[in-house]
Amino acid sequence: MKLLFGHKKDDLLSRLKKQDPAAQKIFYEQNVKKFLSVSRSYINDLYQAEDCLIKAFCKIFKNIESFREEGSFDGWARRVVVNECLNFIKSHKTVFYLDEVSPSYLEEIHEEEVSFDFNAQQLLAQLPDNYRMVFNLHILEGFSHQEIADTLNISTAVSKTQLFRAKEKLRKIYFQQQKQLKNEHV
């Protein structure tokens, strides 16, 4: 069992379920940077991402009894952070999806990941919100296109199209930045 500040992970979880403030502080300190990164991958504005993160931690601590211990606690907590970010985005209606989908266009979609050598968060921040959300949910969170469609109230075809367009945009940004770096070093 992994030790967390001298405590077993199971012990920390049982203390969290008892609403122990010291355990909450330990959990917060161990996860705040990681979860802020998750939040920032959905929300560009740092202050809004931090607000979502604080709300997510409050929900984690308040609703910890709903964790059934069927999977990892870290995975459950991460899902709370993602859901809080999605709720924020939905409530601010900042994302619009276009249903312009041709079947032949979707057949060309390949499930390959984009690889890059520099800060992924900065790269993702350059994507439009709709592309970034679908990309994050599919690539980073492992959602299926049906799960994304259900979560965002869009069709699976739109989810696939948005993912394809996100990958294409990431490739374009990446190659533009590589070309720019080459030109600077000449």
Closest to 155 measured CA to CA, from 163, 145, 164 = 145
- State the residue range of the domain holding 118: 103-184
Work out the mean pLDDT of the chain and round it to a whole number.
81
In contact, 153 and 95? CB cutoff 8 Å: no
Q: Is residue 97 part of a domain?
A: no
Q: Please tell me whether residues 58 and 120 are part of one structural domain.
A: no
Please indicate, yes or no, whether residues 80 and 151 belong to a single structural domain of this protein.
Answer: no
pTM here is: 0.67
**Which CATH number do you get for residue 114?**
1.10.10.10
Number of neighbouring beta carbons within 10 Å of residue 91: 8
Domain tally, the chain: 2
Same domain, 45 and 117: no
Q: What is the mean pLDDT of residues 76-86?
A: 94
Instruction: List, for residues 115-172, the tens digit of each pLDDT value.
Output: 333 467 778 888 888 898 899 999 888 999 999 988 888 899 999 999 999 999 988 9
Is residue 8 classed as helix, strand or coil in its secondary structure?
strand
